Amino acid sequence: MSLTAKLALQQLKNNRRSTIWSLFGIILSVAMLTAVGGYGMGGAAILNDMLTNLYGEGTGANYEHASHVFSALIGGIVVITAIIVISNAFRVSASERTHQFGVMKSVGATKKQIRSTVMYEGIFLSIIGLPLGFVTGLLFQWLAIMITNIIMGGINYTMGFSVSPILIISMMVLSFCMVLLSAWLPAAKAAKIPAISAIRGIGEVKLRKEKPKKSRFIGKIFGFEGQLAAKQLKRSRRNFRATVISISVCIVLVLASVSINSHMFAFLDGRLEQLGDMRYSIFFSTANPDAAALTVEIAENITHKLKEFPGAEVDAHGSMLYSLAPELSVMSREDLVSLVVLEQEMYNRLINEIGAAYGSNILINVAHEIDSEGNMSQYNPYNGMVGQTLSLYPVETIIDEGGNVSPALGKVSEVEITAQITELPDDSFIKTAYAMFTNTKAIIVPELNFDGYSWIIFVDDITGFETYAQSVFDEHLTLRENETLHFMDIAEELIITTAVINFFSTFISIFSIMLALLGLTNVISTITTNIQLRAKEFAVLSSVGMTKGGMRRMLALESLLGSIRALIFGLPLGIFMAWLVYQGIIGVFGQFFNLPFIMPWRASAVCAFGVLAVTFAIMRFAAVSLNKGSIIETIRSGRIN
């Protein structure tokens, strides 16, 4: 074995405490990387399955792309966090030995030799740390999957535990590179310090030169120890930065996942309430609204036939989507307008009820809003539009020779709004239409060439009705080219949607917890690093008469001030992230009803308290190991800082 390898091995053997920390850091990082990777892949596969079953092939593939981006992002966070954790561990080990490297240089060691001792440490630690970390990671993954399956309980999807050889090999390679890179950073730094500075012990801990102002306020409350703590924080901002960043990452993860869960569940509750007891829907669509197989007459015939099924209530309407914007590229959801045609009898009832003339174009000026407690209410989003004439461009479906479907805008037409509905009683006969068009503008018109026609059915015997409905359609309707008919069991769809949302939120929660734990190891490692690097300072302080109580006060205040800084940085960032998540969710579910941003107050408070408690605990824990060494030994340990 070469001398450098031997030196590395001796260092690891003799300096047990820092070896154990480094090893712990490596094992935990590799474990998290493995667990997050495996769990993430398994979860993404199941979500993909669920969505494909629910909405057909296309969405699954779309989602898969998104999930790859998501995985890459998470993977990046994990790798960066892991590098910080491990390289912190090496930083302690290397800076403890700055002086030693200086001595080696003065007796003739080259830069390369210094670097290689640190690198060998990395290699030796990897030999033990990687396999242990990998096994621990599989254990974590298995645990996470068990928990997920227990929480998910009811549904037909269970996450399986699988380990692919490719995953093993790529994780091993990735982790090994990670450890080498982590070792390289402090190694290169240690090798660069000139021999003379290393011998004098000037090296790792760089302090800011300007004199920090004495804080009278802190001095009064916490005494001299408090002032020392404040100075330490101000002077070695760089050392605390890693802690602040890690804590912020944890906070952001927690708040983002809380935001995902609270908004998704709010939407689920709202949607369930909105759909009420609708059970079944049949949807006809055509690419040629002018020459559709389904005419208003045929549709009304079918509706009458469907109503003949015992216990069935049927609501029917045709619709066509229009755009207020003249080009697709500038169109947003606010520009969408649905024109809706009801059955003649329904339309007549409606104009009677609101006192409008036959031929009126009636705006549905009602939408749902749900507050953060989940209470749904109605409001009027489109006041002042009666009397306006809208120029509308139909959103048509273009099918090219290859059968690819794409939207395009057709010829403009003018629609004057002549009446409106401003409130809907719970038993309204147009409730279904309203549930369908809630968060886009919808105008009920007397006549329309529709490209879609929906029947919404309230019925108990779904299976019986399904067979009956099939026969009715077989008898009355022959589909032409580019026309489809879709039968959907709403009740079942809701069960699956609920399951998907449940799964997704469990997945996100567990995932965030795992990532936050990884961030926490980083906090532990940076704080411990800091304390260890200052062992001598503490020894000197206690040799000149600082009591243990005073030391504890100093550390308590340091952790308090450090945490507050992390919170000032992390909480707004976390809330912003929660808001971004909310925007994303609105983008998908906002078509049904409005949901205000649910401010994660409680989660923020828990985060704030947790951060204070955790940093305090870590500081205290790290300081305990210091108190064990004798003062004189620490001072005389040879390091002259």
Partner 1 sequence: MSILQVKELKKTYGKGDTTVTALDGVNLSVNKGEFVAIIGSSGSGKSTLMHLIGGVDRPNSGSVIVDGNEIFKQSESELAIFRRRNIGIIYQFYNLIPTLTAEENIMLPRLLDNRKPDNDKLKSILETIGLSARAKHLPSQLSGGQQQRVSVGRALINDPAIILADEPTGNLDSKSSREIIELLKLANKRYNQTLVIITHDEKIALQADRIVTISDGQIVKDEVMKA
| Residues of this chain that bind partner 1 (CB under 8 A) | 2-3, 6-7, 10-11, 13-15, 99-100, 102-113, 194-196, 199, 638, 640
Dihedrals φ, ψ of 451, to 5°? -110, 0
CB burial of 469-505 (b: ≥16 within 10 Å; e: otherwise) equals beebbeeebeeeeebebeeebbeeebebbbbbbbbbb
Q: Which is nearer to partner 1, 61 or 640 (CB)?
A: 640
Cα–Cα distance between 12 and 93 in angstroms, integer?
9
Contact 415, 361 (CB under 8 A): yes
Of 395, 388, 389, give the one whose Cα is nearest residue 327.
395
**Bridge partners (DSSP) listed for residue 396:** 408
CA dihedral 303, 306, 308, 312 (to 10 degrees): -110
Q: Which is nearer to partner 1, 109 or 320 (CB)?
A: 109
Q: How far is the CB of 528 from partner 1 (least distance, A)?
A: 21
Q: Which is nearer to partner 1, 114 or 336 (CB)?
A: 114
Q: Which is nearer to partner 1, 100 or 526 (CB)?
A: 100
User: Can you read off the two tokens belonging to residue 164?
Assistant: 């692919």
Contact 280, 314 (CB under 8 A): no
Q: Which is nearer to partner 1, 263 or 639 (CB)?
A: 639
Q: How far is the CB of 12 from partner 1 (least distance, A)?
A: 9
Residue type, 221: I
Q: Which is nearer to partner 1, 106 or 380 (CB)?
A: 106
Cα–Cα distance between 559 and 577 in angstroms, integer?
25
Cα–Cα distance between 282 and 209 in angstroms, integer?
75
Rg (CA), the chain: 33
Q: How far is the CB of 109 from partner 1 (least distance, A)?
A: 5
Q: How far is the CB of 625 from partner 1 (least distance, A)?
A: 18
Q: How far is the CB of 637 from partner 1 (least distance, A)?
A: 8
Q: How far is the CB of 249 from partner 1 (least distance, A)?
A: 35
Using alpha carbons, list the distances in angstroms from residue 423 to 346, 380, 556, 634: 17, 8, 59, 79
Q: How far is the CB of 85 from partner 1 (least distance, A)?
A: 24
Contact 370, 594 (CB under 8 A): yes
Contact 144, 38 (CB under 8 A): no
Of 205, 206, 207, 10, give the one whose Cα is nearest residue 104.
10
- Element at 523 (helix H, strand E): helix 490-533
Q: How far is the CB of 639 from partner 1 (least distance, A)?
A: 10
Q: How many CB atoms lie under 10 A from the CB of residue 297?
A: 9
Q: How far is the CB of 143 from partner 1 (least distance, A)?
A: 38
Q: Which is nearer to partner 1, 100 or 502 (CB)?
A: 100
Of 460, 453, 452, give the one whose Cα is nearest residue 491.
460
Q: How far is the CB of 104 from partner 1 (least distance, A)?
A: 7
Q: Which is nearer to partner 1, 4 or 526 (CB)?
A: 4
Strand 405-409 relative to strand 336-342, pairing: unpaired
Q: Which is nearer to partner 1, 121 or 225 (CB)?
A: 121
Q: Which is nearer to partner 1, 96 or 451 (CB)?
A: 96
